[in-house]
Amino acid sequence: MRRLKMQQAEMLASKFRADNGLGQTEPISAKTLLRKLQVTAMYRPLSDSSYGISCKSKSGRMFMLINSNSTRGRQHFTIAHELYHLYFDENPMPHMCCGGASVEEKNADTFASVLLLPKEGVYAMLSKDEILQHNIKLATVLRIEQMFQVSRSMLLIRLRDLGVISENERQAMQSIPVKESALEYGYDKSLYESGNEGVVIGDFGEKARILFEEGRISEGHYLELLKMISDGRKDN
């Protein structure tokens, strides 16, 4: 597949929302969505450079591993990124997603960004001055990231892509300490911290689950195991 244009990604995300009964502007609750889509998911500590893995079995069952060492905001991005692989990737192969530079990795990132931060949903939270005069307030940034449960860096990139802030403004805002600013404005820090270790959504399959829960297998083995699941050998 070719590199998705922003507008194409917006259309795919819009279709994804419509197909799955989600409003076009509402924030997505990642865990609720995984349950609704019947994706079997597990949060496990993976290495720092890894965000997640997903695969689909021949019978259509979908699996996902999410790095519980990532911040919760980053985890939501990972889930949306993996949903792209599960629903739109033309050549889905179980692989560890590490923010790579391949076309499908970039497409998955673009999709994740527009799915989690729908344009109209973001605009609805900005004042007229913020839209027209590029003077977005830190309080607004915090309100949006908390409402849509995304990381600061992801939100700032989306605001830049929407033309709400310039690249220089993005960099200036990126340098503001995230947790301190959240606390200062009365929010809790959980969005910006890791979590969910050991959380399982759906039925991971007994054998796989025991292996995962005992933490006996390495990251390479996760991949092998998921490949086996997607080949159908461990399915059902």
Question: Which residues are near Zn ion by CB under 5 A?
Answer: 97, 105, 108
* Residue, CB closest to Zn ion: 97
Q: Output the smallest distance, CB 151 to Zn ion, in A.
A: 17
For Zn ion, the closer CB: 54 or 165: 54
Residue (105 or 145) nearer to Zn ion, CB: 105
- φ, ψ of residue 44 to 5 degrees: the values are -135, 150
CB 41 within 8 A of CB 54: no
Contacts of residue 217, Cβ cutoff 8 Å, sequence gap at least 6: 211, 225
Instruction: State whether residue 55 is helix, strand or coil.
Output: strand
Handedness of CA 21, 24, 29, 30 (dihedral sign): positive
User: Minimal distance in Å, beta carbon 98 to Zn ion?
Assistant: 8
Least distance from Zn ion to the Cβ atom of residue 212, Å: 20
The CA distance from 78 to 85, in Å, is 11
Task: Say which residue the tokens 């344009």 belong to.
Answer: 119
Nearer to Zn ion, 153 or 181 (CB): 153
The least distance separating Zn ion from the CB of residue 16, rounded to whole angstroms, comes to 16
Q: Which is nearer to Zn ion, 79 or 191 (CB)?
A: 79
